[in-house]
Amino acid sequence: MKISSKARYAIQSMLQLALSPDARPVTLSQLTQQQGISPSYLEQLLAGLRGQTLVSGVRGPGGGYRLAKAADKISIEDIIIAVHEEHVIRPPKSQHEDSLYNDMWWDLSERLQSFLTGISLADLMAREDVQRHLHEQHLLKGRQPETMA
């Protein structure tokens, strides 16, 4: 299974917002700079995340985006669905509803959905490999990955 770049960028954006000190808004420019994607593409992703009330926008000076819920209340599944990538975790409808393939695909889908529902944004942030990646991307602002655990 491969997570789409759309879902990956959405998850990375959510991680950046979760890491913002004191839940300060993060500007679109800051988000796009870290990920190397266009502002218009990221705005599309943020619109989906806003639509599912995962992020909120703050207007005016000092504005930007921030999490609309606590990181431990946002699942990875929530993020994937918000950017319309649910096909990653939900099987397509089959013409052969009784086929072995279809049964196996549905079982796999249910397990994947359960797995992604069980991982919160906070859980993802606590992973050592994620902390290392964020540190390498300079998103931890000088903190060592092991101090984040």
Domains of the chain: which residue ranges? 5-148
Rounded to whole angstroms, the Cα distance separating 129 from 96 reads: 41
Highest CATH level, class, for 5-148: mainly alpha
pLDDT of 149: 38
- Provide mean pLDDT across the span 124-148: 66
Q: Looking at the DSSP assignment, which residues form a beta bridge with residue 67?
A: 55
For residues 149 and 131, what is the distance between their CA atoms, to the nearest angstrom? 8
**pLDDT tops 50 at residue 145:** no
Tens digit of each residue's pLDDT (9 = 90 or more) over 17-76: 998 878 889 999 999 988 889 999 999 999 999 999 999 999 988 889 999 999 999 999
Residue 131's pLDDT is 79
Q: Is the pTM of this model over 0.85?
A: no
Q: What is the pLDDT of residues 107-134, one digit of tens each?
A: 888 888 888 889 999 999 888 888 787 7
